[in-house]
Amino acid sequence: MILVDSKADLLVNGMGDNLLREILALLRKGVPFSSLKTIAQTSYLQALDQEIPKNKNWPKTITLSAHETYFQDKKAYAVNFKHVEQESNKLKAHRIVQPVKTWNAIINPPFYTMTENEIDQSFDLPDTRLPHPKYKKRGPIPVYEMIKFSINTHRRCFGGCSFCTISAHQGKFIASRSKKSIMKEVDKVTEMPDFKGYISDLGGPSANIYGLKGKVQSICDRCVSPSCIHPVVCDNLDTDHSAMTQIYKEVDAHPKIKKAFVGSGIQYDLLVKSYNKKANDSIDAYMEQVVTRHISGRLKVAPEHTSDETLKVMRKPSFKHFHNFKKKYDDLNKKHDLNQELIPYFISSTPNCKEEDMANLAAETKDMGFRLEQVQDFTPTPMTVATVIYYSGYHPYTMK
């Protein structure tokens, strides 16, 4: 609908760094803008009777039900969504076409995952790290204040949580920066005039997925799963946390850093062996590093709910694993003579969550000694499974 409403010639979906390079290279070669029809991760409109341009990399095209059907047939909306989510999360995806009014919206498959070198190039650009000067007279910008001393170590997320849209706009396969590029940015932040020695966040969509990927790439190449860690941690996923721990230690040892916080959410399920069954000891070293060096008195973690039935629809693991995580956290605090809090985050009213589930959540967390301060009510967000269920009444994968 963005294309229809805006009348734009071309829409670049999601993170556009590589695409922009490709588009500009083609334009520089003299290719007319109107011929840019087969660039990955772009969309455009064309007349219904016009032939869809051929591309040898995308031999198959999936045609969705027309946009207008959504208003009468909510089932069709749910069916369409499954295609969109699966193709967004595949390495070798198909092209999607959807009729809308008098056009076909042509949605080309996602671009390949950025290589380390490419993502470094983007982050190494000589930007000022400052808001646009046009905001100068408007006073402090709250979101800028929050991020100005934070470092993004990677992009994308393979969690596939049903209420989250990150993989829809960034993708599932993690693109991580090199340690050199991260440390270069740390140096740059320490030179900022009002820097007082504190990095507010060393992280990404989830903090502890930096550098994680499949052990056998050819298996990932064929994968259609929207999550690498739900309903179980994939056997092919290498969850070694050593590279992250090493980066945290180096940042921590930087002479101009007093403390580098890990403010991004931690995928706690990867840190307990009851869930991440084949994990090696690197998860323990990572957790010890975070608990002892990178939090300030409290760690915020999002189990999201206590009801296993609700958690299943959220694509989150059973709450019993959070109990194990809490024990590990408490033990580490005891070992290091620390008295830090664990702050759990929850979401109420997601699809399949009933009133009694919320009552049980209140009772169970009270029994665990928590005084809840972080409960968000579900907000339907475009392009998520939860919102499709909320709107259509159908789960797009089970059609129940």
**Which residues contact ligand SF4 by CB under 6 A?**
158, 214, 219-220, 223, 225, 228, 234, 236-237
Nearer Cβ to ligand SF4 (168/358): 168
Q: In the 8-state DSSP scheme, what is residue 18?
A: H
What secondary structure letter does DSSP report for 243? H
Helix axes 116-123, 17-28, angle to 10 degrees: 90
Structure tokens at 196: 């007082």
Burial of 366 (0-12, 13-18, 19+ CB in 10 A): exposed
> Would you say 90 or 305 has its CB closer to ligand SF4?
90
Q: How far is the CB of 105 from ligand SF4 (least distance, A)?
A: 27
CA distance 243 to 239: 10
Nearer to ligand SF4, 114 or 290 (CB): 114
Rounded to whole angstroms, how far apart are CA atoms 44 and 35?
11
**Nearest-approach distance from CB 145 to ligand SF4, in angstroms:** 36
Quote the least distance from Cβ 236 to ligand SF4, whole Å: 4
Rounded to an integer, what distance in angstroms lies between the CA atom of residue 361 and that of residue 355?
10
Q: Tokens at residue 220, please? A: 């990932």
Nearer to ligand SF4, 171 or 263 (CB): 171
Nearer to ligand SF4, 223 or 389 (CB): 223
Nearest distance, CB of residue 185 and ligand SF4, angstroms: 28
Structure-token match 């140096």, residue found: 187
Shortest distance, CB of residue 230 to ligand SF4, whole angstroms?
9
**What are the CA-CA distances from residue 367 to residues 195, 199, 363 (Å)?**
42, 35, 6
CB of 277 to ligand SF4, least distance (A): 14
> Residue 254 phi/psi, 5° resolution?
-60, 130
User: By three-state DSSP, how is residue 133 classified?
Assistant: helix
Query: What is the nearest approach in angstroms of ligand SF4 to the Cβ of residue 91?
Result: 8
For residues 220 and 266, which CB has a smaller minimum distance to ligand SF4 in the complex? 220
Which is nearer to ligand SF4, 121 or 225 (by Cβ)? 225
Give, for 100, the enclosing helix (H) or strand (E).
strand 95-100
